[in-house]
Structures are given as C-alpha cells and as structure tokens.
C-alpha cells in the first residue's frame, strides 16, 4: 500500500475509504467490503453516527482477515459543536471525552488520526486544538489534524505557539483546487487529505436526501463538462472516477472515495496501475472553479 509520511513514525495510506452518508447499520458491510478490496485506511467521524458499524468491521477484519491493528489506519473526527446551529462548542475537556467516546464505539484504544471536523467557533478553536494535542500526548491519537481549516485558521494555532496540525482534510478535486491553501500546507509540512474527489461525476450524491451545495445547474453543467474526464478515462482504459482519484494521488493527496456498491468500491481502489500524463495534468489545472460545494450550507473554510 502506497503511503505518505504524516508525521514522524506515522504513514498514511494514499487510498482511504470514506464513510459519510453510510448509515451505522450499513457501515459494517461496506467497510468489510472495502477491507477485502485492499483498503487499509478508513475515514469516519463522530458526526457521521456510524463509528459503531465501522468498528465492527475493523474488529471483524482482525478475526477473519488476520489483520493486526497496525495494518489499518483509522481516522475519526471531533464534532466541535456549532453555537450558530444551537449546539454548544466543545471545550478542551469535552474534546478529550469525545475521543474517548469515539474509541468506545470503535472498540479501539487509539486512532491513527484525529481531526477537528470544522473551524466553526472562533472562541473555542484553540481550546479544542489543545485537547487534540493532549490526546496525542496520551497516545490516544498517533497523529492529529484539522479539517476545513483555512490559512487564517491555522495561523491562529501558530500565533498561540501551539504545534501545527499533521494534516488538513479539505474538499479537493479539479473544480476546487485551492492552490494557495495547498501551497501553504505543503510549505508547513501539513498533509492535505482530499475529500469529495468525485464531485465532478454526474452520479455524485444523487440518492434521495444526500444534500450539498452542488447545484442543479452544476449537475447539468457537469454532464457537459465531465467530457474531458470521459476522454481521459477512455485513453487510460479506466473509469472517470479512477481518473479523478489518480489526479489527487499525483498531486500528493490521500483520497477517501465512498461507495456502498461493491463493484465501485473495488474499482475505486485500482488507481496505482496507470498515470495521467503531463499534458492531461496541465489541462485539469485549468478547470478550477474556486470554492468547495460538498457542504449544504457553504464552504466551511470560510468560517470567520
Ligand atoms: N471533512 C469533511 O468535512 C468531509 C466532507 C465530505 C466528505 N468527507 C470524507 O470524504 C469521503 C468522500 O467524500 P464524499 O462521500 O463526499 O464523496 P465521494 O467519495 O467523492 O463520492 C461519493 C459519491 O459518488 C458515488 N460514487 C462512488 N464511486 C463511484 C464510481 N466509481 N462511479 C460513479 N459514482 C461513484 C457514490 O455513490 P454510491 O455510494 O451509490 O456508489 C456517492 O454518491 C466521505 O465519505 C468522508 O469520509 C469529509
């Protein structure tokens, strides 16, 4: 499994399995399928409500696939609370408790990566980050990071003299390339992890109730503007999804494709046997449309 160094002694596999919008009762089957297909990195979150199902599949893999804990890279995320949505923001203490509860649901004694899910509450961001620093010190998280943080949000941590995150998980795909943020992360040895890589596909989150800010207009545009990916897929003899995932890997970003369909789960994992040539990488570079569209209420990197 190809990996990137996250921090001293911690390697993150480029290929991860995403679990957002997989219900707890379906998570064990999907994650077991992914592990059988060769995924060794699983991404979940307190906010997804499926840590118990994800944990069941992980423990099953120890028994039936003969995997050891060190064979799997597991990420979960702190739901930081958002007063704007009527939720109290977590403190340092409740952050520490939150990971302990996540570990209980996962049935693990540590995660490989713990992230703050989003930079919602300005007054509590530093307190929550101090909680993650403490959890790393205790060995409950081997690496710690953030998600949906902008340069300004990370600069706040730096100005407070706190350790910098090991990773920032952000929406990254040809339509949202965030060159300034990615440049900053690379300069600060913070690994960018790409989520929602498959947004340009016409099939992205089309099931009933799967909301996002990807508009109907964009879906209609997408059907026209995914033509270049269709062309590349044909040229390399792969699917459009594989082209989008391979693009991210060539940029150095670990990816987290999600699917509940076994054939897609398997195909999305097959991204190391071909490469996108320089000419196609350069043409994808021209497709950037700016802000992310995965979140229903707008790009969370814009949080004040
Ligand atoms: N930190 C954050 O704020 C954040 C935000 C969003 C996502 N994430 C993480 O990143 C993961 C991936 O992002 P995502 O779930 O938004 O989207 P994604 O993985 O980019 O795309 C998933 C969507 O594409 C479809 N799909 C998957 N493989 C396909 C294929 N080969 N061909 C055609 N369609 C395909 C899926 O449908 P089926 O399931 O029906 O196959 C689903 O609708 C999440 O699951 C989560 O772990 C994190």
The domain segmentation of the chain, as residue ranges, is: 3-302
- Please report, for residues 70, 96, 102, 171, the alpha-carbon distance to residue 87 in angstroms, rounded to integers and kept in the order given: 35, 18, 18, 24
pLDDT at 222: 63
* Residue 179 pLDDT > 80: yes
Burial, 36: exposed, middle or buried (Cβ in 10 Å; 0-12, 13-18, 19+)? middle
Distance 130 CA to ligand 1 centre (A): 30
Distance 260 CA to ligand 1 centre (A): 10
User: How much is the mean pLDDT over the chain?
Assistant: 95
pLDDT at 224: 62
| Of 258, 264, 294, 297, best ligand 1 pocket probe by most atoms within 8 Å of the beta carbon | 258
Q: In angstroms, how far is CA 256 from the centroid of its own chain?
A: 5
* Ligand 1 nearest-atom number relative to CA 206: 43
pLDDT at 210: 83
SS3 of 169, please? strand
pLDDT tens digits, residue range 10-39?
999 999 999 999 999 999 999 999 999 999
Q: What percent of the chain has pLDDT over 90?
A: 85
pLDDT tens digits, residue range 51-91?
999 999 999 999 999 999 999 999 999 999 999 889 999 99
pTM higher than the cut 0.85:
yes
Q: Where do runs of H (alpha helix) occur along the chain?
A: 24-36, 51-64, 92-106, 125-137, 151-159, 179-187, 216-225, 227-236, 240-251, 262-268, 278-285
- Mean per-residue pLDDT for 113-123? 94
* Residue 263 pLDDT > 90: yes
* Ligand 1 nearest-atom number relative to CA 197: 20
Contact (Cβ atoms closer than 8 angstroms) between residue 202 and residue 176: no
pLDDT tens digits, residue range 205-230?
888 888 788 777 777 666 666 678 99
SS3 of 160, please? coil
- Please report, for residues 85, 103, 116, the alpha-carbon distance to residue 97 in angstroms, rounded to integers and kept in the order given: 21, 10, 14
pLDDT at 75: 98
pLDDT at 223: 61
Res. 122 pLDDT band, cuts 50 70 90: confident
- Please report, for residues 67, 194, 222, the alpha-carbon distance to residue 199 in angstroms, rounded to integers and kept in the order given: 32, 11, 9
**What is the dotted CATH code of the domain comprising 3-302?**
3.20.20.100
Distance 200 CA to ligand 1 centre (A): 11
Cα–Cα distance, 35 to 71 (Å, whole number): 11
């Amino acid at each position: 499994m190809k990996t990137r160094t996250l921090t001293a002694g911690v390697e993150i596999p480029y290929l991860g399995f995403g679990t957002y919008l997989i219900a707890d009762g379906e998570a064990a089957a999907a994650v077991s399928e992914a592990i059988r297909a060769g995924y060794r990195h699983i991404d979940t979150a307190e906010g997804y409500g499926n840590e118990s199902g994800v944990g069941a599949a992980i423990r099953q893999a120890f028994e039936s696939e003969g995997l050891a804990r060190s064979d799997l890279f597991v990420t979960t995320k702190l739901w930081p609370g958002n007063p704007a949505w009527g939720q109290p923001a977590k403190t340092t203490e409740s952050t520490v408790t939150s990971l302990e509860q996540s570990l209980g649901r996962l049935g693990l004694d540590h995660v490989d990566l713990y992230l703050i899910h989003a930079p919602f509450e300005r007054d509590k961001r530093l307190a929550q980050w101090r909680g993650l620093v403490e959890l790393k010190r205790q060995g409950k998280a081997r690496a710690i990071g953030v998600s949906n943080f902008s340069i300004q949000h990370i600069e706040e941590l730096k100005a407070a003299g706190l350790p910098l995150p090991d990773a920032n998980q952000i929406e990254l795909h040809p339509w949202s390339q965030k060159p300034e943020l990615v440049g900053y992360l690379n300069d600060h040895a913070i690994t960018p992890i790409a989520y929602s890589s498959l947004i340009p596909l016409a099939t992205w989150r089309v099931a009933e109730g799967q909301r996002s800010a990807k508009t109907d207009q964009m879906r209609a545009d997408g059907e026209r503007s995914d033509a270049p990916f269709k062309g590349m897929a044909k040229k390399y003899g792969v699917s459009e999804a594989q082209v989008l995932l391979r693009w991210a890997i060539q940029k150095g970003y670990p990816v987290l494709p999600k699917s509940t369909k076994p054939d897609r789960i398997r195909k999305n994992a097959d991204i190391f046997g071909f490469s996108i040539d320089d000419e196609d990488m350069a043409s994808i570079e021209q497709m950037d449309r700016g802000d992310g569209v995965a979140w229903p209420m707008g790009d969370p990197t814009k949080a004040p």
